[in-house]
């Protein structure tokens, strides 16, 4: 290989790493701009066709406006309400209005006598250690929301800069998305067949994950939040949003919230409320996933539930909330890459035989 070519590749790697370092502070804004562009591009194509293809700027602007009205503004409202209610819950626990230790002691007293006797035979002193851990966990979670509220207030300028970068990039992704995607496919050092397969998997998984899983999570969280509000379990919005986030995890999901709540209601003596909550959780929330996932996600893009669970939890633990999309996306590309290798190995074996 000529020295000039090697030097070019070294320069290419260097400037690419430098560019990544420059845009890394805005990686979330860039990532969600790409996600929204992929999800809403079919709608943008219809708007562009309706304008006769002669006004790409107007079509891109209208598409950005649709994203703002349907996704971004409602999401910001829900996030601000979540932080406000979480902070309020923390304040009530901190000033003693909600005594977590007393509530847990009441739950212990409500247990059957044989369970209380069994607990006393353990090395733990009753529920003392459990009370301390649960109380500490709730205080830590509440302080997290309080910290987020303070952080949002202090980093308002940074938030608006990132928000502006996302909208600005989203506009150009709508307007120039086709040519940008074509250039990326051309630059990838892969065969045309492999490039098409990875591109199709990339777009399908993002659309399935965000469009399908998020819609299902919002529906399950809304049902759970309304049920909590109707049963007098406060703060209903906080628990509803928490159920929405947990609904992104298959198999367990919202049950991690409503099952402990139903147990608490039963032990506290509210048997009717507990039965109603279990009925809603099993017959309504539990069936939403089975009824809506096939038409919204599609069988051709659906990963096995255990892969989705592991990749989602791993992605969130590694990079935060963006991981619920990036985790399954990496898992899907991983499976697609190994699928291609297996197919090529089989073809090679068949040709040799």
Per the CB < 8 A criterion, the answer to whether 213 and 297 are in contact is yes
Q: Look at 45 and 102; give whichever has higher pLDDT.
A: 45
Quick count: other Cβ atoms within 10 Å of Cβ 43?
A: 15
Q: Is there a domain that residue 12 lies in?
A: yes
Per the CB < 8 A criterion, the answer to whether 104 and 134 are in contact is yes
Average pLDDT over residues 113-133: 55
Q: Are residues 268 and 225 in the same domain?
A: yes
Q: Is there a domain that residue 353 lies in?
A: no
Buried b (16+ CB within 10 A) or exposed e, 240-251: bbbbbbbbbbbe
Q: Are residues 183 and 63 in the same domain?
A: yes
Q: In the structure, what pLDDT confidence band is assigned to residue 181 with cuts at 50, 70 and 90?
A: confident
Per the CB < 8 A criterion, the answer to whether 105 and 131 are in contact is yes
Domain that holds residue 104: 1-187
Across the chain, mean pLDDT equals: 77
pLDDT of residue 169 exceeding 90, the answer is: yes
- Give the percent of the chain with pLDDT over 90: 7
Q: Considering its fold, how many domains does the chain have in total?
A: 2
Q: Is there a domain that residue 24 lies in?
A: yes
Q: Are residues 246 and 135 in the same domain?
A: no
Instruction: Show which of 187, 207, 230 is a domain's final residue.
Output: 187
What pLDDT does residue 248 have? 73
Q: Look at 92 and 21; give whichever has higher pLDDT.
A: 21
Q: Which of 83-87, 164-168, 177-181, 300-304 has the highest mean pLDDT?
A: 164-168
Handedness of CA 75, 80, 84, 90 (dihedral sign): positive
Q: Are residues 75 and 121 in the same domain?
A: yes
Q: Are residues 173 and 286 in the same domain?
A: no
- Kindly report which listed range (52-66, 141-155, 267-281) carries the lowest average pLDDT score: 141-155
Q: In the structure, what pLDDT confidence band is assigned to residue 127 with cuts at 50, 70 and 90?
A: very low
- Kindly report which listed range (51-55, 121-125, 304-308) carries the lowest average pLDDT score: 121-125
Q: Does residue 268 sit in helix, strand or coil?
A: coil
Q: Are residues 230 and 128 in the same domain?
A: no
Q: In the structure, what pLDDT confidence band is assigned to residue 260 with cuts at 50, 70 and 90?
A: confident
Instruction: Show which of 187, 209, 233 is a domain's final residue.
Output: 187
For residues 35 and 323, give the distance between their C-alpha atoms in angstroms, rounded to a whole number. Answer: 13
Average pLDDT over residues 328-341: 83
Q: Are residues 133 and 211 in the same domain?
A: no
Q: In the structure, what pLDDT confidence band is assigned to residue 123 with cuts at 50, 70 and 90?
A: very low
pLDDT of residue 338 exceeding 80, the answer is: yes
What pLDDT does residue 139 have? 53
Q: Are residues 125 and 182 in the same domain?
A: yes
Per the CB < 8 A criterion, the answer to whether 64 and 170 are in contact is yes
Q: Where are the alpha helices (DSSP H) in the chain?
A: 3-23, 27-50, 56-67, 73-94, 100-110, 113-121, 128-154, 156-187, 192-206, 215-230, 236-246, 255-267, 271-280, 286-297, 305-319, 323-352
- Kindly report which listed range (47-61, 104-118, 322-336) carries the lowest average pLDDT score: 104-118
What pLDDT does residue 237 have? 79
pLDDT of residue 137 exceeding 70, the answer is: no
Q: Is there a domain that residue 352 lies in?
A: no
What pLDDT does residue 172 have? 92
Instruction: Show which of 187, 207, 232 is a domain's final residue.
Output: 187
- Kindly report which listed range (1-15, 167-181, 258-272, 300-314) carries the lowest average pLDDT score: 300-314
Give, for 288, the enclosing helix (H) or strand (E). Answer: helix 286-297
pLDDT of residue 171 exceeding 90, the answer is: yes
């Amino acid at each position: 290989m000529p020295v000039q070519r090697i030097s070019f590749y070294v320069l290419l790697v260097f400037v690419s790493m430098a560019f990544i370092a420059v845009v890394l502070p805005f990686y979330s804004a860039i990532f969600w701009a790409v996600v929204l562009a992929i999800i809403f591009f079919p709608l943008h194509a219809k708007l562009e066709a309706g304008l006769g293809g002669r006004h790409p700027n107007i079509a891109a602007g209208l598409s950005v406006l649709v994203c703002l009205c349907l996704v971004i503004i409602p999401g910001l409202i829900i996030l601000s309400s979540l932080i406000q209610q979480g902070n309020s819950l923390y304040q009530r626990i901190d000033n003693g209005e909600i005594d977590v230790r007393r509530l847990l002691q009441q739950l212990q007293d409500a247990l059957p006598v044989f369970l209380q006797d069994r607990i006393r035979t353990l090395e733990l002193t009753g529920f003392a250690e459990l009370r301390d851990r649960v109380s500490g966990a709730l205080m830590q979670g509440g302080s997290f929301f309080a910290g987020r509220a303070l952080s949002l207030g202090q980093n308002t300028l940074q938030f608006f800069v990132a928000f502006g970068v996302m909208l600005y990039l989203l506009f150009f992704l709508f307007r120039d998305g086709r040519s940008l995607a074509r250039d990326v496919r051309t630059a990838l050092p892969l065969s045309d067949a492999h490039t098409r397969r990875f591109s199709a998997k990339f777009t399908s998984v993002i659309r399935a994950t965000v469009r399908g899983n998020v819609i299902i999570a919002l529906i399950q969280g809304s049902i759970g939040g309304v049920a909590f509000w109707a049963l007098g379990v406060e703060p209903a919005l906080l628990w509803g949003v928490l159920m929405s986030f947990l609904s992104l995890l298959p198999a367990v999901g919202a049950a991690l919230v409503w099952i402990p709540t139903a147990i608490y209601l039963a032990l506290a003596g509210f048997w009717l409320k507990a039965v109603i909550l279990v009925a809603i959780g099993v017959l309504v929330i539990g069936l939403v996933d089975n009824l809506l996932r096939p038409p919204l996600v599609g069988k051709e893009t659906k990963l096995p539930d255990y892969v989705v669970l592991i990749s989602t939890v791993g992605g969130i633990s590694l990079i935060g909330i963006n991981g619920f999309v990036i985790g399954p996306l990496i898992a899907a590309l991983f499976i697609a890459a190994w699928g291609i290798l297996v197919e090529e190995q089989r073809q090679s074996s068949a040709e040799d035989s």
